[in-house]
Chains A and B, each alone.
Chain A
Amino acid sequence: MSFYDEFLQYSDADMEAVFQHTTSADIERIIGKDRLTPKDFLALLSPKAEEHLEWMAQKANELTVQNFGRVILLYTPMYLSDYCTNKCTYCGFNVTNTFTRKQLTMEEVEKEAQTVAASGIQHILILTGEAPAIAGVPYMKECVGILKRYFSSIAIEVYAMEEEEYAELMEAGVESMTMYQETYNPLLYDRLHLKGPKKDYRYRLDAPERACRAGMRGVNIGALLGLDDWRRDGFFTGLHANYLQNKYPGVEVSISLPRIRPTMGNCETGNSVNDKSIVQFMTAFRLFMPRAGMPLSTRENAEFRNHAIKLGITKMSAGVQTAVGGHIDSQENSGQFAVSDTRNVKEMSDAILQLGYQPVFKDWQAI
């Protein structure tokens, strides 16, 4: 039994029919409920719910303040290696993209760590492409050994691994993991992932659960919005998060809502996602899972991020460089995606304070 079994129960559901039959009265009743079912969540993703967006936003704000307070945790990503064996049509690390690949040496990891730590950041998210022979578990463990000296929390956003590998990284000091399914639509997934181990849909889908079984403290999942219909991918993301939270209550489950951004590979998907859609997804999810985390990356622009603070967001990245070694050499430009909010940590902290919220730099101590 894995999430895949639950996914199959809903994969053939006629969502359009559900949306067509959803009434304003349904939405009002659902917003008034304390506990939402997956069907309620789907209704909140319907076009009809757009008419009630302000009410959803008010309740999302109330639930977020109640459960998390007026605080935003700040973190930053650190790209360790952009070597990748996958051929994903929408990603800058695509194996067929021609640019000089780079992997940080331990000396460079230390310099990056010093630069980031000097900004006040205590939560670091390390990223690699999928090239286990070069940037595999032994390399990551060595990096974590250095990063532990500078940060109170270390998270990974790397390729899908075995349960034992997650356990090994946790033993080294990793606390949480992020794994984007990209799209929950298996047919589209197959078309977008042309080559490489990432092509295995099911193996990636089950990766967050393997991390939960390994005892990871936090698991963050998401779909790359814009690849498929956002309502469909949004629903399955929420369903997946709910599955993990129910089955692994000790794990802090969160979701990200990344929108596709320009990369070197530029992939036109025809499924654009506007601000209103993201807000609908964000607020619907908050009503569905009031205690789940919701990080927001610098893919979004500063204005949108400022407003999103009051819509359910709990964590934000700041001072982001998406290129390997970008913190010590900001001229590096072969990033995974284009950063939209370029504010540094100080500017981001000031903005959060101005909005009546407190930036939090430390929310976990590795023990």
Chain B
Amino acid sequence: MMDQLVIGGRSLQSRLFIGTGKYSADALIPEVVKKSGSEVITVALRRIDFNSPMGNVMDHIPSGMQLLPNTSGARNAQEAIRIARLAKAAGCGNWIKIEVISDNKYLLPDGYETIKATEVLAGEGFVVLPYISPDLMVAKHLVEVGAAAVMPLGAPIGSNRGLKTKELLRILIEEIALPVIVDAGIGKPSDACEAMEMGAAACLLNTAIASANQPELMAEAFGMAVAAGRKAYLAGLGRSEKYASSSSPLTGFLHN
């Protein structure tokens, strides 16, 4: 059975999306990509210097990867839209991850501005993947305005705290027909595995790999964890019982 994730008309074998920030050297990226098996990579447009004679992060992204430029640095819809258009004009393709953040303390996304930016960009033909807090109503509005997926956070960006928003993620997975990609907060491969077991369509993470002592090894671990979680989800998790099946059941005396 082929199990593929399809977004924006593109079929993806791997359900692990990775980032490009925070590495001690961009030269690590090709090996991280290879070991993770990832096919989608996000990059902050604000960091790309197309005119730099010294090269830039784009030089290290293997060809064939689906590029997912993000609007990091945007504080409102208008800025996100301008960054998205710049990315497209610069040859980064038509996928865009909307990040609208006006909270520098926790880096929590602004749902209202994100919806506005998504509506405009989806209307212009972008494949829009918005980063959001796991709010059902925000996610529903994003579906209405043409998002290609929703990307709720498991915990604040870079926190490595895991799936702190688990109950809300579960609701989104149950209620939203689009792919739900858990983005931000995933700190351990077991967190990614758990998100996939719950039915998430994919996971996006950066800090957990980039800040590891051996990023390539951690990338491999995440690739395996996401694949394992997906298989478990497809296999159907066994029912978890609150009470053990007693050999002397309390209701065993009831014969009729």
A42 vs B47: C-alpha distance when bound (angstroms) = 36
- Cβ-neighbour of A291 out of B22, B23, B53, B107 (below 8 A): B107
Q: A70, A252, A364 — which one has the most chain B CB atoms within 10 A of its CB?
A: A70
- Cβ-neighbour of B207 out of A66, A217, A252, A253 (below 8 A): A66
Contact check, B104 vs A253: say whether CB atoms are below 8 A apart: yes
The reply on B63 being an interface residue by CB < 8 A is no
Question: Which chain B residues lie closer than 8 Å to A363 at the CB level?
Answer: 46-47
Q: Tell me the smallest distance from the CB of A242 to a CB of chain B, in Å.
A: 10
Contact check, B211 vs A65: say whether CB atoms are below 8 A apart: yes
Contact check, A353 vs B25: say whether CB atoms are below 8 A apart: yes
Question: Which chain B residues lie closer than 8 Å to A251 at the CB level?
Answer: 104
Contact check, B22 vs A249: say whether CB atoms are below 8 A apart: no
A253 vs B211: C-alpha distance when bound (angstroms) = 23
List which B138-186 residues lie within 8 A (CB) of chain A.
158-160
The reply on B93 being an interface residue by CB < 8 A is no
Question: Which chain A residues lie closer than 8 Å to B105 at the CB level?
Answer: 245-246, 249, 291
How many residues from A make CB contacts under 8 Å with B?
30
Q: Is the interface of B mostly helix, strand, loop or mixed?
A: loop
Q: Tell me the smallest distance from the CB of A69 to a CB of chain B, in Å.
A: 2
The reply on B5 being an interface residue by CB < 8 A is no
Contact check, B49 vs A361: say whether CB atoms are below 8 A apart: yes
Q: Tell me the smallest distance from the CB of B59 to a CB of chain A, in Å.
A: 13
Measured CB to CB, the nearest residue on chain A to B215 is A70
- For B77-89 the 0/1 string (1 means CB < 8 A from A) is 0010011001000
Known interface pairs A69-B22, A358-B25, A358-B26; A291-B104 also in contact (CB < 8 Å):
yes
Q: Tell me the smallest distance from the CB of A72 to a CB of chain B, in Å.
A: 10
The reply on A19 being an interface residue by CB < 8 A is no
How many residues from B make CB contacts under 8 Å with A?
32
Contact check, B104 vs A71: say whether CB atoms are below 8 A apart: no
Measured CB to CB, the nearest residue on chain B to A67 is B158
The reply on A199 being an interface residue by CB < 8 A is no
The reply on B102 being an interface residue by CB < 8 A is yes
List which A249-270 residues lie within 8 A (CB) of chain B.
249-253
Contact check, A69 vs B210: say whether CB atoms are below 8 A apart: yes
Known interface pairs A66-B159, A69-B207, A358-B25; A364-B103 also in contact (CB < 8 Å):
no
Contact check, B86 vs A365: say whether CB atoms are below 8 A apart: yes
Q: Tell me the smallest distance from the CB of B112 to a CB of chain A, in Å.
A: 14
- Cβ-neighbour of A250 out of B22, B53, B104, B210 (below 8 A): B104
Measured CB to CB, the nearest residue on chain B to A215 is B75
Contact check, A367 vs B82: say whether CB atoms are below 8 A apart: yes
- For B195-208 the 0/1 string (1 means CB < 8 A from A) is 00000000000010
Contact check, B26 vs A367: say whether CB atoms are below 8 A apart: no
Contact check, A250 vs B73: say whether CB atoms are below 8 A apart: no
- For B3-47 the 0/1 string (1 means CB < 8 A from A) is 000000000000000000111111000000000000000000111
A59 vs B21: C-alpha distance when bound (angstroms) = 21
Please give me the 9 A-B residue pairs with the lowest Cβ-Cβ distance, nearest first: A69-B22, A70-B24, A250-B102, A362-B49, A249-B103, A367-B82, A365-B46, A65-B211, A250-B75
Can you list 5 A-B pairs, Cβ within 8 angstroms, ordered by A? A71-B24, A250-B102, A250-B103, A253-B104, A367-B86
Q: A70-B23, A249-B105, A356-B24 are in contact. List 5 more A-B contacts (CB 8 A).
A: A69-B22, A249-B104, A250-B103, A364-B46, A367-B83
